[in-house]
Structure 1
């Protein structure tokens, strides 16, 4: 077993759902002298905080987090706005999406809107008295290990529009800063020059369809956000092209079946010609007179406050490396991450991860040996797909993490627990998780 040093002071970076879950789990252990949550915004909520204001256009291309969001940068006075758009509804039913012991209100619809979700998160923070643990308007600029198994944090805080910088020492750091802030915009021949012809933005900065009234828009991407944007923008735009590359899926077939009349699906893009205003697709088709291009192409992982992230944690931001069970930094397990896996149900997963981390840090449960942890990543690559979970993989991961959190190390098939946070998920939950997209189409129509 890996022996952690005694941990009494823990820093949590971020007060979104993951950071709040971590703060609550740490406090419930009753084993820590200090728990401090650093939040760069003025409120809790993380990616669910809506802002009408948008960010500056992304750097073109945006393919390497170490370049577009480099380590050791000073804290900006205004944090980036999140990817929440005005008419967003969840793509998970509320009984699946909620923290496992905190249901959404009964009067909420099955698929809550963004306002209802942020209210739920903020009410949770108040209900469990987490706000006194949080330092708002505060950015961790740098966090690095120092002598004696400690972490030194360089922090910038804004008080009454005055910038105050200071250092603090902690025994452990939990990163819950999210991964929906740094856009991934792939490189195409001529795209950078094409920004002089058309507006080029990322889906992070989409807010409402009225912004595209009477325009011709190209949306690039094959995920749920791109389909939402195509559906909404088509109500206002003259024409919407939807660029989808890759293999046909049941999800993409559904998109084709429900396409509005002013929407046209095209294959992957090939190049952009600013001199003619022509966008060429891989099958030779040409698109002209496009006013706005929206890349709904995902995000890069980035931790600019960790000066050692280059190559040790990330190569370019497509994936996070060197972690045991997606959480523990193997080189120094007093650094952990919450909420990194993709295409999962975030809140209950982060709640479970936070519980497991808190119990490791309190000494209630133990990590395996360094050798075992290193062997678990012996074949890892920088392939983003390694962080993408299918429903089957997610459910197996949740069961295994729950068993570990309870100190069980036998055959997972024999493990039984009804603990509301760490125990087995109900059959109803599992069934609704599998049917989430089908339920959404039934209740929302898309």
Structure 2
């Protein structure tokens, strides 16, 4: 394994791929360093689209695959005080679970506020990146070939659809009986009986939205118990698609006369600008020991120190960082923490203990295997899920960055963890307030006095949600806001 060596050259050239939420975070922290401000570091980001925002920047589904899977009705599935950058809150009075357009405006505001736009070249795509001797050679869509000392890979992982390998599904796709949710924007004339496959946020949203527009909705979630609620049915994993519109599910249940299937089955990790010498595509070999190569299993990138830096032997570990590859985490604050760690590692590569990091990677693999990840694919899928570990991970990155003395060692607050744990309760209560046209009263003026006002508002909403479950007290919290000092 190649050790990171401190860079003693007077200039460090850094290339950031993408201009989504993660890229903006790392651009902010890189541009605030003394290295950048003194001119010893240069930073440039390449964005294939005309705006910042990444997945949050809307686009019609005309490309193959679409530029973004953003559908019209999408709202955040996290309250924005939890979801947003910790150093740049959403504006006062923002709806607690904002629509996608509000998030896009927020990201544009972030980029403007921290003067990041001059660091981005828009409508330029990175087409190839390879390590040559002592630098990264990056080719862009203008035909230019440029040299950089460091790369930050933040091109997102919601572009290349993941289509499950199920007998008969290919025929459904080629005959337009099935499509991936990446192409979904709004309920259309899909037919009278629709199947939605996938139990993630998009699958739940689309299945729920379809209930108001078609006669029968079947929501397929792997491992779920079959249930019928009138014209809404829940089924387990699909096992076979038949040419005549039938689908066989777990437990031997067959549904007939399905007009269309929407596959909300996620996306694959896609790094099209790297060749096999940089990262191999396929299942990760059995380990220990760690493989000498970096792998893209399509579900995760492996092995990475701190889920960021590639532990391989072909180029310096700290010459490249892969951002926000984790699932079921709070993405914007994770990006901030990773950005701070990237600054530290780029400035002082020797600060990363490679042997310790390799041991931690192997320990996590052993733990996941012991927990039931018995195949390479199961292990790959489990590797990317860090819901329970995300808080300690953020604290660890903050502590690592703070060792340089250039930034404080902040910690995740208790209220962030609590509100994340109660996100479904909060969202359900918020949707009810929206239906009653009362939601705006709850947030009016909230945030003008700082983030603590949002924290207090979310605690009030939790109490309101819990009180609403008790007969005779459904509206107590909302009808008596003055007792809580509420602005709602």
| TM score, norm. by length of structure 1 | 0.83
Alignment RMSD: 2.4
Matched, 1:10 2:14: yes
How far apart are residue 35 of structure 1 and its match? 0.3
Secondary structure of residue in 2 paired with 1:283: helix
Aligned counterpart, 1:425: 412
3-state DSSP of counterpart to 2:357: helix
Structure 1 residue 50, shift from structure 2 partner: 1.1
Structure whose residues are more often helix by fraction: 2
**Structure-to-structure mapping, 1:28-67, within 5 angstroms:** 28-32=32-36, 33-56=41-64
Deviation at 1:370, TM superposition (A): 3.0
Deviations 1:221-262 (A, max 9, x none): 1112111000111111121111111267xxxx9xx7xx8742
Give CA-to-partner distance per residue, 1:240-286, whole Å, 9 cap, x none: 111111267xxxx9xx7xx8742111121111221x33212232222
CA positional deviation for 1:26: 0.6
Match of 1:444 among 431, 447, 450: 431
Question: Paired residue for 2:449?
Answer: none
Provide, for residues 376-431 of structure 1, a one-character-per-residue CA deviation record: whole Å limited to 9, x for no partner. Answer: 323546521111012x311111111111111189xxxxxxxx94xx5012222221
Match of 1:403 among 396, 399, 402: 399
Correspondence 1:377 to 2:361: yes
1:441 and 1:54, CA in 2 relative to 1: closer, same or farther beyond 3 A? farther
* 1:56-135 aligned within 5 A: 56=64, 80-135=66-121
Q: Is the 8 A contact 1:38 1:136 kept in 2?
A: yes
| CA offset digits 1:113-165 (Å, max 9, x no partner) | 10100000001111111111101111111111112x21100110xxxxxxx31
Partner SS state of residue 50, structure 1: coil
- Unpaired runs of 5+ residues, structure 1, are 59-79, 157-163, 410-417
Residue 351 of structure 2 aligns to a residue whose secondary structure is coil
SS in 1 for 2:28: helix
Q: Would the aligned equivalents of 1:89 and 1:111 in 2 still touch at CA under 8 Å?
A: yes
Q: Aligned residue pairs: how many? A: 395
- Higher RCO (CA-CA < 8 Å; seq separation 6+): 1
Counterparts of 1:283 and 1:337 in 2: how far apart (Å)? 40
In structure 1, C-alpha distance between the alignment counterparts of 2:192 and 2:413, rounded to whole Å: 47
> Structure 1 residues 38, 192: closer, same or farther in 2, change over 3 A?
same
* Alignment partner of 2:148 out of 151, 170, 177: 170
CA shift for structure 1 position 52: 2.8
CA distance in 2, matches of 1:326, 1:282: 35
Structure-1 residue corresponding to 2:29: 25
The answer for the alignment partner of 1:310 in structure 2 is 280
Checking the alignment, whether the CA contact within 8 Å between 1:29 and 1:362 is kept in structure 2 is: no
The one-character-per-residue Cα deviations of 1:314-347 (angstroms, maximum 9, x if unpaired) are 3430111121010011232211011111110000
CA distance in 2, matches of 1:167, 1:315: 25
Taking a change above 3 Å as real, the CA distance of residues 34 and 130 of structure 1, as seen in their structure-2 partners, is same
